[in-house]
């Protein structure tokens, strides 16, 4: 007889990326603004189809080479840290435990996945005395993580959650503001400078950008050693190889107002589909961008994925 955990896994496995996109769309209005974009970005960074393709491959290493995968592309290797850019991740240990307990609990569950996520987020928020909207995105992430890594890996003790020094409202305000250009800032045009933040929980997780400069060009001016942390990072914190939109290594997720970035061109949109981000075309908000093709004209907050590859054919 199947256990409750086995039945729960079978229920999750009925859902593919399209089904999950509908679930996230249903949850999005109730997710706190601090994590609305971040939740969509996380699901783009860790698609179920990539996990299933590697799991089904007779030779996973060869499959990875064929998809030109670089970096840490397996969610199981970073189950506790992949969503640190979500504000709700500060409560990751509690959310992870709540999802594990929910999976093992006997008795009927709501038939819709979105309703199950809402219920776990609500119960956990009551225990922690926080807004349910702050946990809704990270709870959805926990459900998807459980689906991809399985009960045994997911059931391991959780690492601590991300340390956020600011309130969610402060984070939202900081993402919206632009750097002051000084008393005579109104006279500046092309020489205005802004901040690109790529790790909000770290004081030094930012670099400077000159008005209308491409993100990768600005990142290359940051001479700190990022390669020790991520071998893909040769120049600055954003992985980059070609600077012409061909390699697809410099994808970033956008957490701030996309209006502060140049619009995606035809070349970038085409490459977006080839790399597996067809759901993030301009009319959808362009939360995923090719950094070497993207210019900034204000403060920008991005998140850099731990891997890159070409998975559009999946």
Interior/surface letters 4-33, b for 16+ CB within 10 angstroms, e for the rest: ebeebbeebeebebeebbebbeebbeebbe
pLDDT on residue 283: 62
Q: What is the pLDDT of residue 1?
A: 46
- Give the pLDDT of residue 212: 95
Residue 206 host element (H or E): strand 206-210
Q: Cα(16)–Cα(274) distance, rounded to whole angstroms?
A: 19
At residue 243, the pLDDT reads: 85
In the chain, the domains with their CATH numbers are 4-154 (no CATH), 177-308 (3.10.20.30)
Q: What is the pLDDT of residue 245?
A: 85
- Distance between CA atoms of residues 82 and 64, nearest Å: 19
Q: Can you list the residues of the chain whose pLDDT is less than 50?
A: 1
Side by side, which strands form the sheet with 288-290? 206-210, 193-197, 300-303, 251-254, 288-290
């Amino acid at each position: 007889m199947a256990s409750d955990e086995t039945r729960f896994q079978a229920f999750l496995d009925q859902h593919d990326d399209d089904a999950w996109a509908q679930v996230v769309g249903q949850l999005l209005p109730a997710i706190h603004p601090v994590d609305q974009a971040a939740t969509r970005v996380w699901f783009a960074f860790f698609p179920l189809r990539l996990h299933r393709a590697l799991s089904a491959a007779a030779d996973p290493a060869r499959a990875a080479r064929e998809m030109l995968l670089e970096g840490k592309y397996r969610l199981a290797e970073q189950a506790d840290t992949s969503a640190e850019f979500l504000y709700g991740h500060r409560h990751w240990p509690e959310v992870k435990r709540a999802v594990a307990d929910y999976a093992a609990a006997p008795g009927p569950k709501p038939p819709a996945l979105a309703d199950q996520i809402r219920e776990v987020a609500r119960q956990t928020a009551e225990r922690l005395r926080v807004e349910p909207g702050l946990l809704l995105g990270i709870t959805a992430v926990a459900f998807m993580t459980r689906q991809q890594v399985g009960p045994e890996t997911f059931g391991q003790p959780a690492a601590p959650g991300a340390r956020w020094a600011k309130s969610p409202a402060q984070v939202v305000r900081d993402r919206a503001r632009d750097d002051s250009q000084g008393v005579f800032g109104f006279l500046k045009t092309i020489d205005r400078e802004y901040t690109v933040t790529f790790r909000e929980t770290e004081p030094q997780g930012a670099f400077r950008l000159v008005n209308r400069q491409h993100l990768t060009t600005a990142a290359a001016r940051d001479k700190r050693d990022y390669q020790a942390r991520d071998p893909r990072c040769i120049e600055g914190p954003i992985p980059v190889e070609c600077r012409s939109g061909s390699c697809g290594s410099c994808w970033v997720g956008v957490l701030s107002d996309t209006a502060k970035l140049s619009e995606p061109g035809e070349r970038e949109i085409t490459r977006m589909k080839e790399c597996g981000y067809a759901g993030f075309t301009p009319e959808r908000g362009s939360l995923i961008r090719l950094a070497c093709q993207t210019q900034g004209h204000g403060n920008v907050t991005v998140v850099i994925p731990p891997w890159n590859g070409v998975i559009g054919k999946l």
